[in-house]
Amino acid sequence: MLKKLDAWHKTKTGLLIFAVLELILAYIFVSLAIDKGNFLYYILTLIFLYGSLQNIFKLAGKFINDR
């Protein structure tokens, strides 16, 4: 099951969906961090933002190299 998910995550569609989901989660956690002032929410925001940016750059690389 995890191998199928990993293989799908490496496709263009998978990278796009994971990037969008991680951006949504980052937005939720930054809202919570600002509202509650909890340091853990700031850390989770950075983690999800980093993951989203990583997926966006991988997606851009796929678009550039797959021509």
Domain ranges of the chain: 11-65
Contact between 59 and 12 (Cβ < 8 Å): yes
CA atoms within 13 A on the CB side of 3: 0
Amino acid at 10: K
Q: What is the pTM of this model?
A: 0.86
- For 1-66, the DSSP string reads -HHHHHHHHTSHHHHHHHHHHHHHHHHHHHHHHHHH--HHHHHHHHHHHHHHHHHHHHHHHHHHHT
- pLDDT tens digits along 14-67: 999 999 999 999 999 999 999 999 999 999 999 999 999 999 999 999 999 886
